[in-house]
Structure 1
Amino acid sequence: MVRMGDVWDRTTDVLSGRGRTLAGIAALAIFLPGVVRTAYSLYVGKDTPATALLGGLIAIIASLAAVWCQLTLIALSTDPATTEPQAGAVGRARLLPTIGVGLLIGIVFGLFLLPIFIALVGAGWSPEAMQAGQMPTLSSGQAGFIGLYGLLYAILALWVAARLALWTAVMVNERLGIGAIRRSFALTRGITWRIIGVFVLYLVVLGISFSAARAVTGVVFGLILGIGAKATVGFLAAVAGGAVAAAFSTVAAVFTAQLYVATRVGPAASAGTPFDV
């Protein structure tokens, strides 16, 4: 039986032993690109097609770096014998397959949201109306449908997300593509509700820490720099939030790796070679 307490203990062991290396990778591949993206958005903006195009390119590069970072951190955290260059190579080798499977998962999640969008369009919603601040007028039936469907969707999405908790670890450690989805479902069988509990706790702590970091930094630098430095204060607050997000992303990657190790040696284990890229 997989015990989350044991997984967390192994997570803290990895963070203690390899924390500096993991933090360095996260700083370069998650935090720094995020800072550049925020600075560009605040100080350059998207006033022309050229600046908008460059902003989009920066966003894509930052997203690719973040995915590579997660894969690399998982590789480093799964096997203590793995070196940093080896983990980086695994991250590069599994980057495109991971993006492909991730897009497929996102499309499926999006398709199940279509009934809500159809109901909103039927009530007069449109992107132009939303930009103008105009909210659609919903009938009682439409509001009830959207509320009930949204609740069921949230519950189902949380359950599916828990069953998919290990798909990235599978992508790193086993030569699988779409099969990583089925493999993750197999590995998480019997521990779904425990994973959901970890998810909820993680999101609550992340949300509180992220908001607090941004709020405190914004207040402090707002008082120091004054009302005329609104953009700079916003940038510094975003940097503080980015640091918190990078730290939590590192912890999540290590925890995912250790949960994969714990489930892989259990009843759900199957033939698969770690880092078989």
Structure 2
Amino acid sequence: MTVRIGSVWDSTQQVLAGRAGMLAPFAAIGFILPAVLQAIFAPQMGMAEASVGASGARLLITLTSVVLGIWAQLAIMALATHPATTSAEASRTAMRRFLPLLGVAVVIGLVIALAIFVPLVVLGLTGFDFQQAVAAQGNPALMPPVPPAAGLFLLVYGVAALVLGFWLMARLMLTYAVVLNERRGLGAIRRSIALTRGMTWRLIGVAILFAIVIFVAVAAAQGVSAILFRLILGGDSQALVLGLTTLIGAVVSAGFMTLAYVFIARLYVATAGEQVGGPTTGGLPTS
């Protein structure tokens, strides 16, 4: 079965138009609230970095943000996958599939961490001075030289990792949707690769375009809002201006993230077809 990206996009627009009121609360709790918590508590905790309590609070906020974000992602995809799903059902489904998804995400994260660790091992084996690199604090003039053998390896490894990264980004795009809708754990990775067969380049193009658009949109929204808030509140309200600007950026980012997860859910429906459980063949609701 050939899946057209244009058809998936049309389906995504229908879901956004028909279920915006149901999607918005999940986006607000999962994507906007964590940014607000960071904006409120991070500056205060920064004043007492050595405090054990501050470090614990920072860790708690980070963990809360991760939990809320994953829960919101799953709930949004549940609403976008099955037209008859209610908000309560989407929330329950997200909580039920939270731990399986977290397990898959941890495994993927460990693989990525291992891939990042390999160049560090090579640098260490070739005599790279990590202490001097840390002391340089990002200043190129103070950075220690990279041994020629390590430099060649890093170049080849970096190119290969970039190509493989783009491929994985496309082929694993449906992993979360599979975990949500099918009783799979790590098997969701293989399933996602199978579902996206023949779509690699198109999905890479969509992902790159989306990343560019969201970067430009968030940067523009924050830049314009920062200027307006400074004019309205004055130069003595830098903290408030920063907080409001962060909130505006979080709102814009949440909108695009919601769009992304709805698109992924509709792509899953298009590729999985009749194997999707639940009432996915009916018309999309208008409210």
TM-score (norm 2): 0.88
Equivalent-residue separation in structure 2 for 1:205 and 1:238 (angstroms): 18
> Residues 125-204 of structure 1: matches in 2 within 5 Å?
125-126=130-131, 128-129=134-135, 131=137, 135-204=143-212
Equivalent-residue separation in structure 2 for 1:80 and 1:163 (angstroms): 25
Q: Which residue in 1 is equivalent to 2:99?
A: 96
Report the Cα offset of residue 34 of structure 1: 1.6
Q: Which residue in 1 is equivalent to 2:88?
A: 85
- 1:273 is matched with which residue: 267, 271, 277? 277
> Residues 1-277 of structure 1: matches in 2 within 5 Å?
1-45=2-46, 47=48, 48-121=51-124, 122-126=127-131, 128-129=134-135, 131=137, 135-265=143-273, 273-274=277-278
- Root mean square deviation of aligned Cα: 2.0
Q: Is the 8 A contact 1:91 1:172 kept in 2?
A: yes
SS at match of 2:198: coil
Equivalent-residue separation in structure 2 for 1:130 and 1:17 (angstroms): 53
| Partner AA of 2:277 in structure 1 | T
Q: Is the 8 A contact 1:75 1:82 kept in 2?
A: yes
SS at match of 1:104: helix
Equivalent-residue separation in structure 1 for 2:85 and 2:205 (angstroms): 30
Equivalent-residue separation in structure 2 for 1:219 and 1:136 (angstroms): 40
Report the Cα offset of residue 101 of structure 1: 0.4
| Partner AA of 2:153 in structure 1 | F
Q: Is the 8 A contact 1:214 1:241 kept in 2?
A: yes
Equivalent-residue separation in structure 1 for 2:231 and 2:149 (angstroms): 49
Cα 1:145–1:61 shift into 2, 3 Å: same
TM-score (norm 1): 0.91
Report the Cα offset of residue 228 of structure 1: 3.3
Q: CA offsets, 1:82-115, max 9 Å, x none?
A: 1111111100001111011001011112212223
Equivalent-residue separation in structure 2 for 1:130 and 1:67 (angstroms): 37
Q: Is the 8 A contact 1:174 1:274 kept in 2?
A: no
Report the Cα offset of residue 66 of structure 1: 0.4
Q: CA offsets, 1:233-265, max 9 Å, x none?
A: 222221111111111110011000000000002
Q: CA offsets, 1:200-240, max 9 Å, x none?
A: 11101011111112222222223433443332222222111
Identity within the alignment, %: 39
Q: CA offsets, 1:117-151, max 9 Å, x none?
A: 22444421258436585533224443333233212
Range moving further from structure 2, 146-155 or 115-124: 115-124
Q: CA offsets, 1:126-182, max 9 Å, x none?
A: 584365855332244433332332122111011011110001000110011111011
Equivalent-residue separation in structure 2 for 1:149 and 1:223 (angstroms): 48
Report the Cα offset of residue 274 of structure 1: 4.5
| Partner AA of 1:36 in structure 2 | L
Cα 1:54–1:262 shift into 2, 3 Å: same
Question: After the TM superposition, which parts of structure 1 deviate over 4 Å for at least 4 consecutive aligned residues?
Answer: 130-134
Q: Is the 8 A contact 1:43 1:231 kept in 2?
A: no
Q: Is the 8 A contact 1:120 1:136 kept in 2?
A: no
| Partner AA of 1:123 in structure 2 | F
Report the Cα offset of residue 81 of structure 1: 0.9
